[in-house]
Amino acid sequence: MKVLKMRKNQLHGMLPENIGEGCMLQTIDLNSNRIEGKIPRSLSNCRSLDVLDIGNNHIVDSFPTWLGSNSNLRVLILRSNQFYGSIGSLTEGVAATKKFSGMQIIDLASNNFSGSLSSKWFDMLQTMMANSSGEGNALALDSSFPEDKYYQEVLTFKGNELTFTKILTTFKMIDFSNNAFDGPIPVSVGKLIALHGLSMSHNAFTGRIPSKLGDLAQLESLDLSRNKFSGVIPRNLTSLTYLAVLNLSYNNLTGMIPEGPQFSSFANSSFEGNAGPCGKPLSKQCNSSGTRSLSSSMSSQDSVGTTEKNSALYRR
């Protein structure tokens, strides 16, 4: 058997511990059940495993570092479980740089992962560093896609849940949202030039937004909202000509919003919840030093004051 697909059933209990060395499974899809316990370590016997989707269950475990030795693994979906702890330890060891080298999609969203990301973490994701034949189009079909392999995943991409049937070898995404990661995002993320989607929202990341994100030429969706980023928005981001979704809201960003074709198309909501940004598309004007002008600030405060007074009069 090569494909085990049992998503959206009422499966409960724990996964079997003893998976034999003759395992031929290429796809395991157990998404949206009530599975508990840990991921069986004997799953490493499935050396042809290409897709592992155990999202939306009740699994309590640490990050499966031991799966990293499987060079065939391309899709890892762990979202909406109770995974915990740091994922930084997977960079340790002699063969650390070869771990997870074939990864195409990593979805760790909505768990309890914590700690900082090692500067070497993204160095392992070699497949995400290679430009593909579907340049500029995440949904382009690669002619080398194996006909006998099953792919179907529901992924959050561009802010929407989309079903991808036969996930294509050109599509690459990382989703670490809704966890407790902290510290800066390593600049090595800029090496993942084939990435189409990156979501780090709802964490506690600090420091500046890496300017190296501007090197991700294929990026279509970037969500860094609800973190603790500070400083100015990197001008390099204006070079992301395929960027359709940008969310930098609810951080501590300041300064002028970079001007560029893509940035002019984003709504105010992309930047809301930051006290400092100014310039288009916001109504807040910048002064000559590139900071929010005093007149704009006073005008905004006057507007709020007037609204409050009118509201008080209305209540009377």
Quickly list DSSP for 209-241.
Answer: PPGGGGG-TT--EEE--SSEEEEEPPGGGGG-T
What is the dihedral angle through the alpha carbons of 200, 203, 261, 105, rounded to the nearest 10 degrees? Answer: 10
**Ramachandran region of residue 5, left (φ > 0), alpha (ψ -120 to 50) or beta?**
beta
Which residue reads 């979805």 in tokens? Answer: 107
What's CA 46's distance to the chain center, in Å? 27
* Model pLDDT, residue 289: 63
Residue 298's SS3 state is helix
In whole angstroms, how far apart are CA 229 and each of 115, 138, 147, 205, 246? 16, 28, 44, 6, 15
Taken in order of first residue, the domains within the chain and their CATH numbers are: 3-247 (3.80.10.10)
* Model pLDDT, residue 16: 87
Quickly list DSSP for 61-77.
Answer: -B--GGGGG-TT--EEE
- Block mean pLDDT (10 aa), the chain, length 316: 89 88 89 96 92 96 92 94 85 60 94 92 90 47 40 58 57 94 96 96 98 96 97 95 95 94 88 90 78 47 43 39
CB atoms within 10 A of CB 63: 21
* Model pLDDT, residue 285: 84
Please tell me the pTM assigned to this model. Answer: 0.83
Burial bucket for residue 179 (CB in 10 Å: 0-12, 13-18, 19+): buried
| Cα atoms found within 13 Å of the Cα of residue 80, Cβ hemisphere only | 14
User: Is-cis flag, bond preceding 146, omega within 30?
Assistant: no
Longest dimension (CA), the chain: 79
* Model pLDDT, residue 297: 43
* Model pLDDT, residue 187: 95
Pairing of strands 245-247, 221-223: parallel
* Model pLDDT, residue 309: 40
| CA-derived radius of gyration, the chain | 22
* Model pLDDT, residue 121: 84
CA angle (152, 157, 158) in 5-degree steps:
155
- Tokens at residue 208, please? 């500046």
Residue 169's SS3 state is coil
- Tokens at residue 19, please? 């998976």
CA atoms of 80 and 109, how far apart (whole Å) = 6
DSSP label of 135: T
Query: Bridge-partner residues for 114, per DSSP?
Result: 180
